[in-house]
Amino acid sequence: MGARLASSGGGGRGRRGRHGRAPMAEINVTPMVDVMLVLLIIFMVAAPLLVAGVPVDLPDSQADALNNEDRQVSVSLDSQGLIYIDEDQVPAGAFADRLAAISPPGSTNVPPVVLRADRSLDYGRVVAVMGALNAAGFRQISLVTNGSSESP
């Protein structure tokens, strides 16, 4: 009774007051959509940068592209001649040991190797790495190049 008179205060209008608005029953999704679009753009820009961890200036070639396999080993040679297996740098003299850890000698389930070598490297350095791969039992070696429409 008495509480009703004290809380109404504005002639029966209740909580809204003289110029009050009714509570909104909708959810504004515009800020959420804006945030999601910004995140989508960030991931679209960042995804290609995550593909190759070792910066290598690849030579050009007119060869057709090969299919990617799920289980393959990526070996990279940068412009200084340092060797990387996937994205891990291999210390000098430990390349054969690291290859043996990936596929023990005599193993029948040997993954294919993708070799990425910088164009400024000496041909002998690339051949030496290919020889070490062959000696470790890796027989499927693919050389990665950039596509080119120029003829040699």
Domain ranges of the chain: 60-147
pLDDT in tens, 23-44: 777 888 899 999 999 999 998 8
Q: Compute CA distances 149 → 12, 64, 111, whole Å.
A: 82, 11, 31
At a CB cut-off of 8 Å and minimum separation 6, what does 51 contact?
A: none
Q: What is the pLDDT of residue 142?
A: 85
Weakest mean pLDDT among 8-12, 79-83, 86-90, 117-121? 8-12
60-147: CATH number? 3.30.420.270
Query: Is 60 exceeded by the pLDDT of residue 49?
Result: yes
pLDDT, tens digit, for every residue of 74-84? Answer: 899 988 889 99
Q: pLDDT grade, residue 51 (50/70/90)? A: low
Q: Which of 86, 105, 83 is nearest to 94 (CA)?
A: 83
Tell me what pLDDT residue 81 has: 86
